[in-house]
A and B are shown apart, each in its own frame.
Chain A
């Protein structure tokens, strides 16, 4: 058992530790009680008369935050908070002009102590263990409340100084997960004014370039804030009760504006690729609602869209939102979209997300057939190298598009009417008219091509995938396939559906190869066959030695 220095720590370890001798426990209890009573006494003395104000200094020194605030004395902090609250409530911290000189000195001294105490709390929030951090946060917030309530006209000042320090401390705290969650759930979500000023402070904070970790914290705090208030929202829950509320705090627009600023500050910061992806992922649900002018997101989104790869895929939905809602004009949207169809797309984990969007983008029947055909041909090319779970999506997707764009069905069925051309094809074969390198989807000539790739996939190794690929060559009697059913399949799921859980016994006896091979790995009995290796696994033996 480690020898604890502080009584509270001792008490904890007594509680947590094994079974120390009773006497020792009693002794510890005694010291703890002693300290408590001493703190109580000091506190009482302060309340009794101003003579004992020096006790404040004693208490602050007892906080034990030097050199680092790893193990603070919480009881002291609590009692100090009480002391200062009382003092603030009594107006002892406000200096009046008419007060005597010595009064002024006392007030100034008290203010200094108060600042010192606040600094101590911040230090605790930054350094200490989560429990102490949370306590310190609560105490600091209480101070904020007291000071705003009892010192008239000080609110802006307090929000700008003390609260700023709190926010900074919360963001920069060591192991601050719990602290941040506590801060968000107890204060930011609860009280609308706290949220308002948090936005203000975060916007200010994020204006400077910050480290990626800090940005992560900022994003997590911001994204866990409540949903954006509706336009006719009545602001009711305030941390600091006031009769006259500032206009700002009661206006939805002001709130949104602050949030927007905070977000923008973050978006302008130096984001890593992963953070960018993360932001894009939460864009539609968490960020955009806060923006009164979503067009401000345009730059960020277009930049992300131009990055390529997964980032582009993710930017797509945000961009779509802007196009749809805010009438954003994105020149050559489809060209860009077409360029997203690269070899990685079908292997990406955002595949389903992309297909859902692509389904929306290509839903219009007014799109030119050449363009749609390019997408189809491109997808079928990609399907040749795709995992089964992607092929399973592509084919029904194509089916639906064929239903909407019957002109494209030439890609599945084409008779060459021109006799000369037919003869030429018969003699010399043909090239694929599709131009793979053309980036403009209206010029790829895909509509002249055929979907040989899908036809090849009809002999895919997995029977279910092959069956799905076969719908292209059957009659199109079904109205449309529900795309959602085909998204989100994985290798794991397919293997599991094939293998089952192993509890069920096989219903049918599996067929066994009728001939037992003479050799599998070795050259056993090769002479008998005249030295020619054939039969099963011959290929394996040809390439491998065992």
Chain B
């Protein structure tokens, strides 16, 4: 038979060490010192709790779904398997509700009341020590922060130990600076901030430990610690606070005395006056003066300034200045000339590397994602396209979105139509001047933009404000005589034309210079936009100059182009937009008939923008424009061929660095040569599509002529006499030949060099033969091509393109998860997994919240019922009491009546 309950209890108490033999005093003291007693207390509480639980088997409810088979999991037995204690949870919940909900219920229709906002006051999870420590930490933090601007207690140690108002510092010096001002101001501030902070944690903490409490937690419950005696630290703190308070009071009294004394002192002169019998004029600035004496002189001076507002502003400004003032730091050593040169070389090298990177189509390191973005914007036509288009992947526009241009005159590559309306009409505006005059002007003026440019380069694209340019203007003024010094920044091209209407062409750069100087972005906030607009106008203007003037002055155009270039460094978007607008106009209006302005703009592009880039917002479309012109244009006379030659030259120049292949160039050059050659080519060449020119442009080889350098003028005007014409033809032949020569240099590395240049070789041989090898450029070009062809033959190897690593065969083996955990979700789709997780969490939370609300409701109902019962019973009691009272009174009255009656009867 098992021992009785009592005996069992005693045994278990002894086993767990709750009851143990009496300890000696010494032991006790030791324990207290090491803090073992507190630990022991905790242990004891836990043990007691465990024993209580063990001895009350009715509280434990067995789990409803008993596991059928013995199983082992990695996680160990689940919590549910142990059974739970509904009674405990219920009572816990009840208790908590009583603490929160009931309070709320009671306070429902009440306003006001006292709220204890001290930190951790209502937090049962904190021990008093923790509470105190936390409060102390907060206090000191607040002090450290020094929120108040006028907080003067910077250096003071706030928590100095004192005794009886005396500092306990070792050096014995009393630091008496418990400032009333600081205390008052600070306190009010502190109070506020504390309030703000306190709201949050209290709200947060209430719901925190709501969940999971249906299950038994056999560990320490973490609450219900008995009230403890105050620790030594706390006592000390109290003492400190008290002493501070006393000190403050003393100081206050002393200050009051001082004030009073001051007041009296101030009234002394009045008193003297009164004694003399005269009244002094009333003093207006009495209060100000009052403070002045106590202030430091600088501040006083500031305060004395007439306007308070102004002073404050000044003060603010000064303060800001001070905060932004640079700390003095050791300066870099002045660099030697070599070092500077080296640095410059390094910078250039980096820029060149960047260019090469862009050429290869790689992203330049610092703006990788930007480039990606850009690719989207540039290449992808419509991203919202429903069906997938293979061509879109390569950035080609979908054929459906780009309608074939019907109204363009040229329907397609096959037939070439020239629209007469599109041939430019040259106006008779003559802005050119005689050459000699110009040369001289040119020289005198050329120096100063160079200076500006140098500056430009040095400070990396930022022109200096007025100072330098002002002098520059001074210089030019002497050279050019009458020019205004100030010009408005034009808003469109027409107004710019208005400005330069009466100005000789060679002065235009000076005007541009002045406009740039006058509207330097540093001078006024709006100037940056203005200059951007101005850059666009200049782009328009160079084309205008080449188009409209009879003999465009290329010195001026060049100068303006360089201005544009310099502006482009700061206003790249504007300049690029202007160039793109021009290209768009070309492609819309006259894709196959480039006018001089277009050629100038295209050559401007070649210097301003890097044409070697893999993709560039300006140079790529420019390439296309030229290629389209070369590939499709209609050649009718020598000027067409001249502009073709110019375009071809531009192309070769464009590709000088990146060495990209351009089929249209080869086609055009070979066709032009075939058409210009003195005799027709005997062999039928199959490589390039032949284009016959209607008019016979063949060179009459009989005449004695020499070739010359081509003029830009050849693009505009054709020579009048036959000799000039023949000369031009010969020059065109030599130009095209040397273009082919240079292009063969550029493309020498191409694997299909043989295929590209064999036709060129044949054509050049033919021409050279008909000249009997006398024309040098043709000969040299031919030699060059021959040399490259032999080289190409030697270096030719079969293609070896697919040396890839072989692709892995797709495997169908299911993925095996190492350390599989059934509770974890292995959804490869991260998004879906995340949504599932959120859904689950939401469901759980919702269930919990509903359960809690239901419990709350029942609690409230219960409470109400209880209250009602209480009220009812009270009422009943009162009623009974009253009844009893009345009855007793009645009884008494009845008795009295009986007595009286009896008395009367007795009398009778």
Chain A residues within 8 Å of B, Cβ to Cβ:
310, 342-344, 346-351, 381, 383-388, 391-392, 396, 409, 411-416, 425, 428-432, 436, 450-453, 455-457, 459-464, 466-468, 472-475, 477, 481-482, 484-500, 502, 504-517, 519-522, 524-525, 536-537, 539-540, 543-546
Is B119 interfacial (CB-CB < 8 Å)? no
Residues from chain A with Cβ under 8 Å of B653 in the complex: 537, 539-540
Name A483's closest neighbour in chain B (CB-CB): B390
A344 to B689, CA, bound (A): 5
CB distance from B686 to the nearest CB of A (A): 6
Q: Which residues of chain B in 437-458 are interfacial with respect to chain A, using CB atoms and an 8 Å cutoff?
A: 446, 450, 453, 456-457
CB distance from B531 to the nearest CB of A (A): 15
Partner of B801, one of A416, A472, A489, A495: A472
Partner of B607, one of A409, A436, A509, A513: A513
Is B361 interfacial (CB-CB < 8 Å)? yes
A388 to B394, CA, bound (A): 13
Known: A429-B793, A450-B799, A510-B618. A546 touches B554 (CB 8 A): yes
Partner of A524, one of B446, B618, B620, B686: B446
A450 to B797, CA, bound (A): 9
Partner of B414, one of A349, A383, A466, A543: A349
B398 touches A485 (CB 8 A): yes
Is B740 interfacial (CB-CB < 8 Å)? no
Name B584's closest neighbour in chain A (CB-CB): A499
Name A414's closest neighbour in chain B (CB-CB): B798
A-B contact count (CB 8 A): 345
CB distance from B788 to the nearest CB of A (A): 13
B710 touches A543 (CB 8 A): yes
Name B443's closest neighbour in chain A (CB-CB): A524
B373 touches A489 (CB 8 A): no
Partner of B754, one of A432, A510, A512: A432
A477 touches B807 (CB 8 A): yes
Is B5 interfacial (CB-CB < 8 Å)? no
Top 3 closest pairs, chain A to chain B, by CB: A349-B412, A493-B402, A429-B794
Residues from chain B with Cβ under 8 Å of A510 in the complex: 572-573, 576, 609, 616-618
Residues from chain A with Cβ under 8 Å of B577 in the complex: 502, 505-506
- Other than the given A453-B755, A506-B576, A511-B610, 13 more pairs (CB < 8 A) read A344-B689, A384-B756, A460-B663, A468-B396, A498-B620, A500-B580, A506-B577, A506-B617, A511-B613, A524-B446, A525-B450, A545-B710, A546-B712
Q: Which residues of chain B in 557-605 are interfacial with respect to chain A, using CB atoms and an 8 Å cutoff?
A: 557-558, 561-562, 565-566, 568-569, 572-573, 575-577, 580-581, 583-584, 587, 591, 603-604
Chain B residues within 8 Å of A, Cβ to Cβ:
348, 351, 358, 361, 367, 370-371, 373-374, 377-379, 381, 389-392, 394-399, 402, 404-405, 408, 411-415, 446, 450, 453, 456-457, 554-555, 557-558, 561-562, 565-566, 568-569, 572-573, 575-577, 580-581, 583-584, 587, 591, 603-604, 606-610, 613-618, 620-621, 623-625, 627-628, 631-632, 646, 649-650, 652-656, 658-664, 666-667, 685-690, 709-712, 735, 738-739, 742, 750-756, 792-804, 807
A520 touches B756 (CB 8 A): no
Residues from chain A with Cβ under 8 Å of B801 in the complex: 412-413, 455, 472-473
A474 to B803, CA, bound (A): 9
A537 to B609, CA, bound (A): 12
- Could you list 21 A-B pairs, sorted by A, with CB under 8 Å? A348-B413, A349-B414, A385-B689, A391-B663, A412-B799, A412-B802, A413-B800, A429-B796, A459-B660, A459-B661, A461-B660, A486-B391, A491-B628, A499-B621, A510-B572, A510-B616, A511-B610, A512-B569, A516-B457, A537-B606, A539-B649
Residues from chain A with Cβ under 8 Å of B667 in the complex: 385
Residues from chain A with Cβ under 8 Å of B742 in the complex: 539
Partner of B370, one of A387, A388, A491, A508: A508
A492 to B583, CA, bound (A): 12
Residues from chain A with Cβ under 8 Å of B587 in the complex: 491-492, 495-496, 499
Partner of B396, one of A392, A450, A512: A392
Partner of A347, one of B373, B413, B796: B413
A348 touches B402 (CB 8 A): no
Main secondary structure of the interface of B (DSSP, over half): helix
B738 touches A505 (CB 8 A): no
Residues from chain A with Cβ under 8 Å of B802 in the complex: 409, 412-413, 473, 475
Residues from chain B with Cβ under 8 Å of A484 in the complex: 399
B610 touches A513 (CB 8 A): yes
A472 to B801, CA, bound (A): 8
Partner of A520, one of B392, B394, B562: B562
B796 touches A430 (CB 8 A): yes
A415 to B802, CA, bound (A): 11
Residues from chain B with Cβ under 8 Å of A494 in the complex: 396-397, 624
Known: A384-B663, A510-B618. A456 touches B565 (CB 8 A): no
CB distance from A496 to the nearest CB of B (A): 6
A508 touches B373 (CB 8 A): yes
Residues from chain A with Cβ under 8 Å of B652 in the complex: 539
Partner of B649, one of A431, A481, A540: A540
Partner of B807, one of A425, A475, A536, A545: A475
CB distance from B501 to the nearest CB of A (A): 25
Residues from chain B with Cβ under 8 Å of A516 in the complex: 453, 456-457, 562, 565-566
A406 to B39, CA, bound (A): 83
CB distance from A459 to the nearest CB of B (A): 5
Name A455's closest neighbour in chain B (CB-CB): B751
Partner of B399, one of A415, A431, A488, A495: A488
A452 to B690, CA, bound (A): 23
CB distance from A265 to the nearest CB of B (A): 30
CB distance from A242 to the nearest CB of B (A): 48
Partner of A488, one of B404, B566, B603, B617: B404
CB distance from B659 to the nearest CB of A (A): 7
Known: A460-B661, A463-B620, A495-B628. A392 touches B361 (CB 8 A): no
B799 touches A513 (CB 8 A): no
A477 to B806, CA, bound (A): 11
Name A449's closest neighbour in chain B (CB-CB): B798
A519 touches B558 (CB 8 A): yes
Known: A385-B687, A495-B624. A540 touches B603 (CB 8 A): yes
Residues from chain B with Cβ under 8 Å of A459 in the complex: 658-661, 750
CB distance from A535 to the nearest CB of B (A): 9
Residues from chain B with Cβ under 8 Å of A384 in the complex: 663, 666, 687, 752, 755-756
A396 to B389, CA, bound (A): 13
B399 touches A487 (CB 8 A): yes
Residues from chain A with Cβ under 8 Å of B659 in the complex: 459
